[in-house]
Amino acid sequence: MWQVFKKQGEDMDKKFVFIFVSVFLLCAGLARALDFTAALSPITNTANMFEQAKYELSIHNSLNQQDIYTLDFISDPTWSITTDPASDYFTGMIVPAEQTKTTTIILKPNIAMTYGAYEIKLNIKSAATGLEQQVRVPVVVTVPDQQQQYAMTMTLAADVPAEVDPRQPMKITISVENKMPVKRSGLKVAVKDALGLVNQEQNISVDPLGKNVFDINIEFNPIQSPAADILTISLLTANDELIKRIDNKNFDIIAYSPLNESESVRRSFLKTTTTITVSNSGNAPGTKLVARKVGFFQNIFLKTTPTAKWVEINGKRYLGWQVTVPPQSAVQIIMAVSFRGLVLLLVVIVLLVTAYFYLKPPIEVRKRAGITKTREGGISELKVILNVKNTSSKSIQDVKVVDSVPDIADIEENFQAGTIKPDNITKNIANGTLVKWNLGRFEAHEERVISYRIKSKLTIIGYFRLHSAVVKFISNNKESKVRSNSVQLHIKKEEFGLE
C-alpha cells in the first residue's frame, strides 16, 4: 500500500515540476514578447498614383536600455514605401530606454492598381532581443479625380519679358506639356496681373505625350504710367478648376517721354511773336533744353515768357529754357520782339520837337551882365546886354522891351553912340527902376542888341542878382510876351584880399 502511495507521490512531483517549468517558460516568453509594443493609427488611409496614404507608427521600448527597431514591409514592388524621417525606414528607429518614438509611414502605389482595399504586413524587429512583431497596414486604393491626374501629369511654363513698353504688345510665350498618352482637351490658360491691367484667357488642348507652345499678346494703354507689376499664369480645366499656376512673374512697365518741338511765328504791326511748343506724348515727365540764337539788337527789344537764361552750346551763347513737360501735355515758350516802344518813343520825340518849335515864342531874349568897375573890393558898375532876336520866318510887330534895375543901383543915362536908347526910364518903389524900349517891327530872323550901364549906390559884395527882362510883341494878331534869363553875379572877398 505504501509503495502504491509512494509511487503516486513520485508521479505527482514529476507533474508539478513539469507544470512549473512550463508556466515559467510561458511567463518568460510573455515577458520577452512585451519588451516593446507597437501601435499604428491612420492619418489618411487612401492612396492612388497621385495621392499618398499616411500612418503614424509609435514604438514603446520597455527595456532599461536603448534599442533599435528595424521596419520590414512584406510587399511587392508595386508599392512605394518610406518614412518621415526616412532614416527610420532605412537604418531603423532608435528608441531610448523606457521611452516612445513616433514616425510617419508613407505609402503610394507605383502603378495603376485595381481600386479596392489592400493590406500590407509590417514586421518590426528588436535589435536587442531579436523579437519581432507584425503590424497590418490597411490601405484603400481610390480612383484619382481628373484634377489630380492633370496636376501630376501636366507641366506649365511661361516666358515673361522683364520690361514692357506700353506702346507695344506684351508677348508672353507659354508652354503646356502633357505626360500622359491621352489627349487633354477643354483646357484654358488665364493670365492676370496684380494691378488689374491684364485679364486674358486662351482655350487650348494638348496632344498625347505632346507639348503646346503658344503666344499671348497683351495690349496696354499706350499712356499707362510706369509701374512694377506681377503676372499670375494659371492652367485651368473647363470647370475652372486649377491644375497648375505660376506666381510672381515680375515685369516693369517702362517710362518714356518723347518730346516734340514745334514753332509758329505771328507777325503784326512792328511786332513778331514766336511761339515754341514742346509736347510730351509719353507716360512720364520729360525735360529738355530749348535754345534759340538771338541777335544783339533783337535782344534789346525781346521779351520772353518764361524768362530765359543765357546758355553756352559748343562755345556759342544762346537764350535757353530748361522745360519739364508732364505726360500727355505741352509747354509753350513765347518770344516777342516789339519795335512799337521804340517807334512810339521816336514819335513822342518828334511831337515834342515839333511842339517846341510850333509852340515856342518867336522872340528870344537873352540877358548878360559884366562887372566894369569895382570899389573897395565890391561891385560899383555893371554893363547889361540884352540880345533880342526874331527866331521865326515871319515879321513881328510892336516889339517892346522892359527891364528892371534894382533899387540899389541907378541906370547910367549917358548912353554910348550906336546904342539903342530907352524910350522911358521910370522909378518904381516896388521894382526899382524900369527901363523901356519900343523896338517896333522885327523882320524874320532879325536880331538887335541893347546895352546899358548901371552904377551901384553902395559897394556890392557877395551875390548880386538882376531880374529877367520882359519882351512884349504882337504875333498872329495876338499880344504875347517872353522873359529872359536872370543874371547873378558873385564877388569873392578873397579876390580882393579881404577877410
C-alpha cell of 457?
A: 549906390
Classify the C-alpha dihedral 12-13-15-20 as positive or negative. Answer: positive
How many CB atoms sit inside 10 A of residue 278's CB?
21
Task: Report how far residue 262's alpha carbon sits from residue 283's, in angstroms, rounded to the nearest whole number.
Answer: 20
Q: Residues of the chain with pLDDT > 70: what percent?
A: 88
Q: How many CB atoms lie within 10 A of CB 335?
A: 21
Q: What is the pLDDT of residues 55-90, one digit of tens each?
A: 999 999 999 999 999 988 876 677 888 899 988 888
| pLDDT tens string 281-296 | 999 999 999 999 998 8
- At residue 497, does pLDDT exceed 60? no
pLDDT band per the 50, 70, 90 thresholds, residue 2: very low
What pLDDT is recorded for position 148?
A: 66
103 close to 85: Cβ distance less than 8 angstroms: yes
Bridge partner residues of 163 (DSSP): 252
Q: How high is the mean pLDDT of the chain?
A: 85
Q: Round to whole Å and give the CA distance between 285 and 63.
A: 80
Local structure of residue 326 (DSSP, 8 states): -
What CATH number belongs to 34-143?
Answer: 2.60.40.10
Q: What is the pLDDT of residue 478?
A: 85
Q: How far apart are CA 98 and CA 352, in angstroms?
A: 128
CATH architecture assigned to 260-341: Sandwich (2.60)
215-259 tens-digit pLDDT: 999 999 999 999 999 999 999 988 888 889 999 899 999 999 999
- Compute the average pLDDT of residues 428-457: 86
Angle at CA of residue 64, ends 61 and 70, nearest 5°: 35
Amino acid, single-letter form, for residue 128: A
330 φ/ψ angles, rounded to the nearest 5 degrees: -145, 150
C-beta separation of 178 from 207 below 8 A: yes
> 7: pLDDT confidence band, cut at 50, 70 and 90?
very low
- The DSSP secondary-structure symbol of 399 reads E
257 burial class (0-12, 13-18, 19+ CB within 10 angstroms)?
Answer: middle
69 neighbors 124 (Cβ within 8 angstroms): yes
C-alpha span between 120 and 107 (Å, rounded): 10
**Cis-peptide, bond into residue 285, ω within 30° of zero:** no
CB atoms within 10 A of CB 251: 18
CATH number of 148-253: 2.60.40.10
pLDDT digits (tens, 9 = 90+) for 161-207: 999 999 999 999 999 999 888 888 989 999 999 999 999 999 999 99
pLDDT confidence band for 460 (50 / 70 / 90): confident
DSSP code for 145: P
Q: What is the 8-class DSSP label of residue 420?
A: P
Residues 63-91 as b or e (16 or more Cβ within 10 Å = b): eeeebebbbebeeeeebebebeeeebbee
Which CATH number applies to 361-496?
2.60.40.290
Element (H, E) at 120: strand 116-126
Q: What is the pTM of this model?
A: 0.52
